[in-house]
Amino acid sequence: MLAGLLVSTATLSLSSGVAVAQDDPLPSWSEGMPKQSIVDFVSAVTREGTPDFVPPPERIATFDNDGTLWCEQPMYVQLAFALDRVKALAGKHPEWKQKQPFKAVLDNDISALAKSGEKGLVELVMATHTGMSTAEFEKIASDWIATARHPKFKRPYTELVYQPMLELLAYLRANAFKTFIVSGGGIEFMRPWSQKIYGIPPEQVVGSSIKTKFEVDNGHPTLIRLPAIDLVDDGPGKPVGINSHIGRRPIAAFGNSDGDFQMLQWATGQNGRRFGLIVHHTAAEREYAYDRKSPFGRLDKALDAAAANKWVVISMKDDWKRVFAFQ
């Protein structure tokens, strides 16, 4: 955000444009309506000569990251990164001991940090993610993700990717879909590891971004990260990011929270065969159970709107045989 491995699939021909036949492309999914709806959708849009056929270049699928592809509790992974960065930089900023929200971080006072709200979180990001080159930030983020551990599972965050979703990504790509991450997380935080963990190359990652500027430092051209927001790729910002980065409207979208509501609307609110899916976190023993009242990944408005929009809501407890590869 390195042990998460993509599920392997058989070598298959895509020349016919027809849905690929596999014994079971989604082995970690329980038999039932959600799994069948995925297979039916892929079969429909890849069957040439039918009204539902979608040419391969238009087979765009967008995935939220936090809570959809990997674990987002007890806090967003990038927030955990920002908190660790505050602690690492505190020696250079003695004023932080008395200044909020930095004081809350240094005191491990999560309640006080929560009270700082979005403004406080933005302040943390601006202080810990900017004032350096893009190459420097990539190294810092890559080093952190390689060593950080989840507080509950005591494993690298990159092992807490959802095995059923890895299978889904592979299944879609085997049927000539192009898969994109569209996340509220920082685009340059995700890009260094998205290829290895999800098989999604950096150019297919869309996320929140800060402004950068070009400079020449001692004869070396570089990009400097500035303390200013460029795009918040969450909620209504997701369709904007999709349009800006991808240039095609997706025919399938996958999310887990109200932050994905507009992306699901954008993908499914058009003519032709479309697909929307919401991951509902109901597996308290294997992962977490949360929805309407969670401070991270709140699922309320989108859950109420799912039926009217014909979005599939999957229960992590009932529809997934396992959540993580190590289970």
Checking if the pLDDT of 259 tops 70, the result is yes
Q: Which of 178, 165, 167 is nearest to 66 (CA)?
A: 165
Q: What is the 3-state secondary structure (H, E, C) of 154-221?
A: CCEHHHCEEHHHHHHHHHHHHCCCEEEEEEEEEHHHHHHHHHHHHCCCHHHEEEEEEEEEEEEECCEE
Domain-wise residue ranges, the chain: 33-74+155-319, 77-147
pLDDT at residue 10 greater than cutoff 80: no
The average pLDDT across 269-298 equals 96
pLDDT at 112: 87
pLDDT at 116: 85
With a cut of 50, say whether residue 9 has pLDDT above it. Answer: no
pLDDT confidence of residue 11:
27
Distance set, CA 250 to CA 26, 186, 238 (Å): 22, 21, 12
> What is the structure's pLDDT at 7?
31
The answer to whether residue 4 scores a pLDDT higher than 90 is: no
Q: What is residue 113's predicted lDDT score, i.e. its pLDDT? A: 87
- Are the CB atoms for 164 and 26 separated by under 8 Å? yes
pLDDT tens-digit profile of 115-129?
887 788 889 999 999
When the pLDDT of each residue in the chain is averaged and rounded to a whole number, the result is: 92
Per-residue pLDDT, 114: 79
* pLDDT (average), residues 265-272: 96
> What is the CATH architecture of 33-74+155-319?
3-Layer(aba) Sandwich (3.40)
pLDDT at 22: 61
The residue-averaged pLDDT of 217-243 equals 96
pLDDT value, residue 270: 92
276 and 309 Cβ atoms separated by less than 8 Å: yes
d(CA 68, CA 72): 8
pLDDT-derived band at 213, boundaries 50, 70, 90: very high
The pLDDT of residue 325 is above 90: yes
Check pLDDT > 70 for residue 15. Answer: no
**Alpha carbon distance, N-terminus to C-terminus of the chain:** 20
Percent of the chain predicted with pLDDT > 90:
88
Least confidently predicted of 74-83, 109-118, 148-157, 291-300: 109-118
Q: Per-residue confidence at 36, pLDDT binned at 50, 70, 90?
A: very high
CA–CA dist 133, 137 (Å, integer): 6
Q: Given this model, what pLDDT does residue 3 score?
A: 35
Whether the predicted pLDDT of 170 surpasses 50: yes
Q: What is the pTM (predicted TM-score) of this model?
A: 0.91
Q: Supply the pLDDT for residue 5.
A: 31
